[in-house]
Amino acid sequence: ASLRKDNEVIRNFVRQYSPPSPSEGIQNVMFMDFEKLTDALILANAEVMSIPPGMAFSHINTGVDKEADPTYYYPQLTAMACAGTTPPAHPVNIGSCPDKRRGIISRDGMHWCDKTTGPRTTAGLACLIDCVSNDSDDIEDRPEQLRECEFACNHMYMNMETFFVLDETTVEIDSKQGHLENPK
């Protein structure tokens, strides 16, 4: 819950930011919103693991098996760090991942697995950089244009509501062969 409050403080700072002057200091501040993407990935993995949605953000893998595998020794969300379809045995926390299977969202509950999140986060970052690089002739409208572009980037890439659909079945994904689609 405190992380959500911290994220909101950062969002508000970015929304209210104005440069010290038109020619000095930091001119643009953008927000890449990992919260929606993180929540969606955790909820999806929790569903596969039969962890109820209400427990997805509180079911803990305590890491008590740290002697067997000292790499993972601190408490972490089961639905973020574990994998498999075997439901956790205990309703609140477990000592290690069911069937000793680590997840593909995060191997340690802290760092992202690039194979899973890399394409989306890289596209989101590139989109935000494009927002800042797109110079507007109208300085007065620049902050509003940046917020709109930032919202569009986060909406398109930093959640699980949008996805890439291929128009034809192919082995390689080429942007000319498909399109992004938002089912809502």
Considering 6-15, 35-44, 83-92, the range whose residues carry the highest mean pLDDT is 6-15
Total residue length of the chain: 184
Q: What confidence category does residue 149 fall into, taking pLDDT thresholds of 50, 70 and 90?
A: very high
Distance CA 78, CA 89 (A): 12
pLDDT top residue among 181 and 151: 151
| Token pair listed for 136 | 């507007």
DSSP secondary structure letters along 77-140:
EHHHHB-SSSPPSSSSEESS-GGG-B-SS-SSSSS--HHHHHHHHHHHHHHHHHHHHS--S-GG
Give pairs for 57-60: CB < 8 Å, separation 24+: 58/92, 59/88, 59/91, 59/92, 59/93, 59/94, 60/92, 60/93, 60/94
Q: What is the mean pLDDT of residues 49-76?
A: 71
Query: Which of 124, 121, 132 is CA-nearest to residue 153?
Result: 124
Lowest mean pLDDT among 40-44, 120-124, 167-171, 180-184: 180-184
- φ, ψ dihedrals at 34, nearest 5°: -80, -15
Percent of the chain with pLDDT over 90: 15
pLDDT top residue among 36 and 84: 36
Q: What is the chain's mean pLDDT, rounded?
A: 76
Q: What confidence category does residue 117 fall into, taking pLDDT thresholds of 50, 70 and 90?
A: confident
Distance CA 162, CA 184 (A): 9
Give this prediction's pTM.
Answer: 0.71
Distance CA 66, CA 154 (A): 37
